[in-house]
Structure 1
């Protein structure tokens, strides 16, 4: 008869998000009070969500907790609190950037639920803006075609012209000596 200690269930690995078996991750998420769980997530996302759960509960009601609760859903958030835009005290606005997918009605309802679970209880969400950014490559090219028609002739130096002014002068000095004797 097998004893209690002979059971091959490694209890120590069950409570660790890094070593827990994949098929038991949903139960570990439930035990860690994970805000949102989606079976379609890949294994790395599931493990990261479970790991972040402790931080979320520790920092519940902060912008950091909001980010960690919403970003695994595939969204980036930007929060503007009431003192940043001179709105009614105790309110905040949030812009959610949908990265790779759009937002369905079900996803919007889930997003609101997650935000309400993670936000400060004393704050009220007044504006929730959903934005989508599309990234892609736009090939841009430019070409220039330029040319000249040029005729090249052999080099002929210009004629060298020189000018000179010549002055002709002449001087004649004739000295005659005449003696008259008388």
Structure 2
């Protein structure tokens, strides 16, 4: 039934391999896209059914050649295949303003997960006490500090 709706609403691109939710969104957005074809809003609408985030960078924002633009597309966790990439290029080409030329499309993937960092410091002294002898005792050393400090003192008393 969805292919017939797509035909009735003049959907520009259709692929039987798309998921049902993408097909429904494409049919839903078809009228809006035809009304706004040639605007950045239409470009956003053809990319968003795939679940991608899009950022449009116009020539006047970067000082590029007048009449050009770049796209940054965030694919989130699902990734992107070569076929999907080529389909996006076709859909964007249909929806973009005819007077504008796309000079770059960057695909960005952002992932997240736990990252564990640990640090420790260990410092100890061992002291031996002898009967008093009139000598100068010099003690020295280095200490390294970190996120946690564990200090141990051992004292031995000899006769």
Q: TM-score normalised to the size of structure 2?
A: 0.66
1:122 correspondence with 2:99: yes
1:130 aligns to what SS in structure 2? strand
**How far 1:40 moved relative to its partner?**
4.5
Q: Quote the Cα distance in structure 2 between the aligned partners of 1:48 and 1:127.
A: 26
Q: Quote the Cα distance in structure 1 between the aligned partners of 2:98 and 2:92.
A: 11
Q: Quote the Cα distance in structure 2 between the aligned partners of 1:42 and 1:103.
A: 14
Using CA pairs under 8 Å that are at least 6 residues apart, name the structure with larger relative contact order, 1 or 2.
2
Q: Quote the Cα distance in structure 1 between the aligned partners of 2:80 and 2:21.
A: 23
**How far 1:97 moved relative to its partner?**
1.5
Match of 2:62 among 80, 85, 90: 85
**How far 1:45 moved relative to its partner?**
3.5
Gap runs ≥5 in structure 1: 1-23, 150-182
The answer to whether the 8 A contact 1:35-1:69 is kept is: no
Q: Quote the Cα distance in structure 2 between the aligned partners of 1:38 and 1:147.
A: 68
> Rg: which structure is higher?
1
| Structure (1 or 2) with the greater strand fraction | 2
Counterpart in the other structure of 2:72? 95
Counterpart in the other structure of 2:114? 138
Counterpart in the other structure of 1:168? none
Moved more, 88-97 or 42-51: 42-51
RMSD of aligned Cα (Å): 2.4
Structure 1 residues 127 and 56: CA distance shift in structure 2, 3 A: same
The answer to whether the 8 A contact 1:80-1:93 is kept is: yes
Q: Quote the Cα distance in structure 2 between the aligned partners of 1:90 and 1:38.
A: 31
Counterpart in the other structure of 1:55? 32
**How far 1:65 moved relative to its partner?**
0.7
The answer to whether the 8 A contact 2:37-2:96 is kept is: yes
Structure 1 residue runs of 4 or more that deviate by more than 4 Å after TM superposition: 139-149
Q: TM-score normalised to the size of structure 1?
A: 0.59
